[in-house]
Structure 1
Amino acid sequence: MDYKQAVKDQNSLYSELILRWDADVLLRDLDAYIMRGIDNNKIPNIVNVTLNRPKVFYYNVTSALESTSEQVIVESEDEQLDTKYIEDYVKKGFLAANAKLRKERKFKLNPYFDDQACIRGRIAARPLFRIEDGILITDITYWDSHFVRFGTDDKGKQWASFEGERLASDIESEAWAQEIGYKCTGMKATVLDIWHSEGNEVHVDGAKEWEQEHQFGFCPVAIQIVTLGSMLADADSLYKQGESLFFLIRGVIPELNRLVSILQTLNLKTVKPPMKQKKRGGKGASKHDQITAMGANTAMFPDEDISPIDFGDAQRSATIALAMF
């Protein structure tokens, strides 16, 4: 099977889902809101406001998840089986995997998985526990599911891949690169790491640089998709599967930003309101700062006048805007 081509096919299939992932990250990271009209052009003279509600909501949830403790429970019909020993082994396996990640200056497993489940709607990792020189190597490499593609058959995952840009030093430190003496030609390169039920192959900048067989008998990549979202067989269902925390408010937040931007624009107008001036002879209007300055004294003829232009109830808009922050 041409796994590299399979990855390309999946990239095309995932195009709309990738747009959703990117939009959710911008929502979480409070990408600056800009009010636009129906022609999508920026509306001038607007106080654009970006509410922090998505970020507060997101980190309240992830913080709550990180404060919990994972329960490991092993059950068996064999009354002679020491399930406590197995439970302790599983716990210590994850502790050892986290210790390895700390040495590599990487995030621990649970916080990373919580973040992935909440923002991507899915989790992916490549666990490779193995014995080297009589020592158990607890290797669990998590993958950002934005860059993960996979294919399945009636036996489960047939293949899975991770593709991303990496520093040359990181690539050259990999076991496969050291074994063959691989050296990158630049400071960075795009690495496509493919695992299937029979082996592993690594492509760097489009060229296959490494291939090996393994004896696992299955694809050693674990992928779990959050059950929020669509489970239908519609043509566009992939875009709606494995939803993030924002799936119920994704369309509402821009409208809230629009509303608060309108309210804050009205509030600013109370400080510097638009003015109209009736002037003898219809000459040019006075400068705004001169006639509205603190303690300003403006001379005019009896038939002349200066007054603010009514723009709505600013006091009420201030109350509403304050309540929304």
Structure 2
Amino acid sequence: MSARYPAARPRRLRRTPALRRLVAETRLRPEELILPMFVKEGIDAPNPVESMPGVVQHTRDSLRKAAQEAAEAGVGGLMLFGIPEFKDDRGAAADDPGGIVQRALRDLSADLGDDMVIMADLCLCEYTAHGHCGVLTPTHQVDNDATLERYASIAIAQAAAGAQVVGPSGMQDGQVGAIRAALDKAGYTDVVILAYAAKYASAFYGPFRDAAEGAPQFGDRAGYQQDPANAREALREVELDLDEGADMVMVKPGLAYLDIIAKIAERVDVPVSAYQVSGEYAMVEAAARNGWIDRERAIMEALLSFRRAGAAQILTYWATEAARLLR
């Protein structure tokens, strides 16, 4: 039985910063951070995203510069999102070898080599004129199986351009299996699949849709993204993705789903990632601009909460800044 007060005084271990560091149960390192980045075709200067202060739609040149800065700060990886100049109903730019993401992947591969993990989001919402994550039926529903064919083609294009990790985020049934089979058949057996396994139909994505210019032109994505009310369903989605060949899994969003991160981390033996999404970022930035919170403390506390819940990696728009603070 543990001692009681006055013999037991837990505050002894909190008295100084050095003591607190010594006994910290959870630690955060720069190499555990992944920086999401947007690259847009047809612009000649970085374009600020109004709803995400400090985030921009990059040109290819500014992307290369920002990626190098992230690498120098010790950030572990980059997740690339592309905004093409022209969109159509099938998202043809997504797997075009000359598409914006494929060109940017080649740039980053040449610049960074093995110094940083280069990842590509694998979806269609940024590339389709309608803004949904797949091919549509005549009744404007996402055709799951036709979409898998598109995802398989995108995966091969991204791998050929230098992506070390592909991140299927469309929440279509069977997407991981279709992508794994396509990559293996094309000889890309070493390309990692980071599955957005538990992606919820969340209100926290709004600023991202400004940044990626991928808001649905009608309806919403609740028909294929998860219901925020469900936890067991997330576990089932993770199991299915792992059975299909996922190497890593992700929970998105992050802060409102720490319980889901914890449940999954306790259950699986692969790395679990958390995505600190645009709405979470924007709320902290807005509150800090109004002087309501200490910005740096809020950033680091939120990031630490993901690690405490069990996330091995964190996708965050603060990755470069946080890495510098940690170092």
Give the TM interval when normalised to the shorter protein: under 0.3
Q: Which has the higher strand share?
A: 1
Larger radius of gyration: 1
- Larger relative contact order (C-alpha < 8 A, sep ≥ 6)? 2
Q: Which has the higher helix share?
A: 2
**TM score, norm. by length of structure 2:** 0.22
